[in-house]
Structure 1
């Protein structure tokens, strides 16, 4: 079919700004276009334009005649009736519903579905219906890891054109042939996957800094030359002087967010006892158990990921730790020094009339303190945003505010339930960097493989039998076991979960491994700097000094890499 949709100089306006400006874009058969950008840059709006759900304010959109388009919106509307009436009775729909974990909902009324269930039903419908152009807005939200892995395989085999907005970097890098970055109304297209986009973005920002420095230097030299002129009082030189001054006063466009997100927070010291489950079972009346005879010991500095299919009780376990629910049997002990911060997936900010600065201050402090202003600035809540009501924030801004409110309590135990939902990629990377250095205890439930790989040291899984078990092979091992549908019978948990007996060594090794990774990065950069300095100088004394320094750095780098490999092997043996 060739070209499926062609956008020519398209623009979409909002009352106070251009959301999308002068964007030209073509999507053809076999293309896979990933769309990224910080919250509020118009990603969902662009998808609606491509799908024909929204007409642009300016520009033209040409669509292939007869092309079948399927569109999964970020917050889909399914209509009325039960699920079966929406998705039909074909074997394809039955298979897809099963893979997405919602086959049991066929007789449920659509109005009774949760947001996550409705999203998965809408995804199943989009995949079931024949299409030439498939447009997906955050399709991995509310999927478990096995569902994400299956969706990746399905989309890889899809023959039509694909346009996808996603925060799942693993998925983007595996699928995309091009990336479109939206930034303050402008669009930047990069060939290749997510990794290519990151490199191109870095190169673009470096080029902009270099161009700005060059422009400024040229303008200053011209102004100095003009001012040295003998007849500066004449109209023409004076006009040129003013033009040069205006050029100097111009600056390159400010970044969309001022500086990087700095998430440094203090926290109270943790004692030896953090969280302990002793023969804990939980469930609801007349329903199978969600947790069965769970024994678990979590200590200071532990970094756990909890996996499981949708509905197996991952969020319930976090609610038990946070005290939002109470176990039907068994004992849960929380250490006396523990301060829990719970970042849940549904958003806990219920007062929509509260201002951002009120949420940050909480009920016990006055809003607008210097400490809170600094904290809000670190989360990019600047300008008028601190005085904005929660109801007026975008979904991504609310999630970022929720994260800010959690960290403002200075917790030493963090519970993160699907933290990547609705956060943009810049915020995710900053959160990962923060957690890398954070010394508290971390428990994560997430379907985002990249986030898990960067933040946790060990993996536990809640099985269909409601027991909690150590996962051989970590996240990849669990995904493989789900994909193959070849689960071996597992023995019931006996005593404390197996990983905990070596918890102290596991935590120490994980922390040391992260420290050495940073040292390797530092030494590698130092080696590059020294090599560049050697090339740039011809001074004999300087060459000797630089050569000696380079020999030391190479020796230290070799030693650090060997140590990293040894620690990684020991950590793998404990897993």
Structure 2
């Protein structure tokens, strides 16, 4: 495995703050690394230093001779000139770039919207594109290149669920196994799990390294925190014993405490479910009553382009929200997701049909623009919350506004920062708090995760877990949708709201099937039943019979794994109970090793079967 670049004792100072302090790390051929950390901790700075764009204040960065690096910066040039074609494929003729499968895949995957909705298509000037379209064009320009190392800073910004899934698949299959390297900063946790085999956390001027994607990173970090707490508790106990010695002399001998080796598994197993669905539904029903918000045979039209015929966004839609329902909304850009929210709140009136609202409904909306904060721009963040309410009762206990502000990640300094000086992510969190202190029973969130880092996202999700009302979330963040909502619906551009029993995977399959049939974007049949379509053929190229056999084998192996895990837990419990019996512990340890060895074999077999099954 070739070594691509190396950083030795790199330090970067911005103002009076050490953003990076003596960081040493390396990147090899075949690495797929996701970079996470709080906003402002230095993720983008680290990328700029490694790519040579920013000279470090101390240490050095070395690259392999001839290394080809493709970089997508966090911010695009708003003053870029030229056309989309010139940016992405240069002066290559159509038959030249279209003959390259990778370039053709990138153009169709990222620029389909530009080709179909922008006058001139690929020959349109960059100045004619929206911010999201310019971002996708810049990403396409990087991905069409033949690079050894691809460095992407927030590539999923302005990508919808379908775009994120496409990008993850492209990066997974871009290089042969063990070749090429990926270094990506993103707050999209599903994307991290889908693409990355290592995670770097930028924190406190250093870089902590973890194996695996986001899920593995969270577990490893929780285990590190537990070990650190155990160490701190042990040190505190030693100090107390030392004080006791000074007071009364040598203490009596005591046995050492025993710690379980599977502490991480125990930590996860002891954690209750994120939210108690039955309790939330019961509470919501009591507060809301039977009727919440209903769209009944609603029709809504928007003006056509260049004075053309009006376009129908919603065509006879009936959609009812129940007390305590938690629903995520996905869909193609321009299909009317935000319009649906504005109809539910009464900000817009339908062209046909009606919107019914329950008598006890109290709606709160977190908009994309956050214009509501303009009137409190001169107030401190804490003052902006206290202006709405100083205290409320949560789970029977009074909670102050300052406690709520701290819960959503505002340090003491940031809590006293003027609202006008807060970052985009901080402003979004602040407005969410200002809504929640009024205790609404219906909460509508329009892209709530924009500009939020992974730690803050977890805090926001924790707050939403405790919301005991009806929740509607419009988002391209697949992880957030699956984490905070119980089911999803889709707007596919056909004027309907379609239920997705299969979740986001079903939505992606529907979109893929529509494209395969040569349909226009979102061309699902109006009123079609919400059934899960047949799965796409697996990447392994196996036959249908082989896929069915592999799926059955995977299910059998899953059942075997459950039994082995139960046996492992039982043996560990018996070993703990017989800790003083050396012979029993030796015998049980041998059994445990055999069970663990079999479990590893079964896991390997399951991975092989899952790869064939797709």
Q: Cα distance, 1:498 vs. partner?
A: 7.9
Structure 1 counterpart SS, 2:374: coil
- Whether contact under 8 Å (1:143, 1:310) holds in the other structure is no
Whole-angstrom CA distance in 1 between matches of 2:235 and 2:483: 40
Q: Deviations for 1:195-241, whole angstroms, at most 9, x for unmatched residues?
A: 33223212221221222233334445456656789xxxxxxxxxxxx
Whole-angstrom CA distance in 1 between matches of 2:391 and 2:85: 50
Aligned match of 1:51: 51
Q: Cα distance, 1:83 vs. partner?
A: 3.1
Whole-angstrom CA distance in 2 between matches of 1:366 and 1:194: 36
Identify the match of residue 442 of structure 2 among 413, 423, 444.
413
Residue 535 (str. 1) matches residue 545 (str. 2) = no
- Whether contact under 8 Å (1:179, 1:194) holds in the other structure is yes
1:131-142 matched pairs, under 5 angstroms: 131-142=147-158
Residue 102 (str. 1) matches residue 114 (str. 2) = yes
Q: Cα distance, 1:408 vs. partner?
A: 2.5
Aligned match of 1:361: 386
Whole-angstrom CA distance in 2 between matches of 1:493 and 1:263: 33
Q: Cα distance, 1:118 vs. partner?
A: 2.7
Aligned match of 1:388: 417
Whole-angstrom CA distance in 1 between matches of 2:107 and 2:530: 34
- Whether contact under 8 Å (2:389, 2:437) holds in the other structure is no
Deviates more, 1:329-338 or 1:95-104: 95-104
Whole-angstrom CA distance in 1 between matches of 2:350 and 2:3: 57
Residue 87 (str. 1) matches residue 103 (str. 2) = no
Whole-angstrom CA distance in 2 between matches of 1:284 and 1:370: 44
1:416-495 matched pairs, under 5 angstroms: 416-484=445-513, 485-486=515-516, 490-493=524-527
Q: Cα distance, 1:40 vs. partner?
A: 2.4
Residue 401 (str. 1) matches residue 402 (str. 2) = no
- Whether contact under 8 Å (2:11, 2:20) holds in the other structure is yes
Residue 301 (str. 1) matches residue 319 (str. 2) = no
Aligned match of 1:278: 296
Q: Deviations for 1:308-362, whole angstroms, at most 9, x for unmatched residues?
A: 1222221222232233433333322232322222223344433544321233234
Q: Cα distance, 1:70 vs. partner?
A: 1.9
Q: Cα distance, 1:403 vs. partner?
A: 2.4
Q: Hey, which bits of structure 1, 4+ residues long, moved more than 6 A?
A: 226-229, 262-268, 366-370, 527-531
Q: Cα distance, 1:472 vs. partner?
A: 4.9
- Whether contact under 8 Å (1:293, 1:493) holds in the other structure is no
Q: Deviations for 1:369-408, whole angstroms, at most 9, x for unmatched residues?
A: 9832222122232322222023433333233223222322
Residue 148 (str. 1) matches residue 172 (str. 2) = no
Structure 2 alignment gaps of length 5 or more: 91-96, 250-273, 306-310, 393-397, 532-564, 581-614
Whole-angstrom CA distance in 1 between matches of 2:348 and 2:136: 26
Whole-angstrom CA distance in 2 between matches of 1:204 and 1:367: 35
RMSD of equivalent CA atoms: 3.6
Whole-angstrom CA distance in 1 between matches of 2:74 and 2:246: 57
- Whether contact under 8 Å (1:314, 1:445) holds in the other structure is yes
Whole-angstrom CA distance in 1 between matches of 2:571 and 2:440: 42
Whole-angstrom CA distance in 1 between matches of 2:399 and 2:142: 49
Q: Cα distance, 1:8 vs. partner?
A: 1.0
Q: Deviations for 1:481-526, whole angstroms, at most 9, x for unmatched residues?
A: 22343469754349xx989xxxxxxxxxxxxxxxxxxxxxxxx99x
Note closer, same or farther for the CA distance 1:74–1:80 as it changes in structure 2 (3 Å cut): closer
Residue 36 (str. 1) matches residue 36 (str. 2) = yes
1:158-557 matched pairs, under 5 angstroms: 158-159=174-175, 160-222=180-242, 269-287=287-305, 288-348=311-371, 349-350=373-374, 352-362=377-387, 371-484=400-513, 485-486=515-516, 490-493=524-527, 532=573, 535-536=576-577
Q: TM-score, normalised by structure 2?
A: 0.69
Note closer, same or farther for the CA distance 1:379–1:530 as it changes in structure 2 (3 Å cut): farther
Structure 1 alignment gaps of length 5 or more: 230-261, 500-523, 540-575
Q: Cα distance, 1:437 vs. partner?
A: 4.7
How many residues in Structure 1 have an aligned counterpart in Structure 2?
Answer: 480
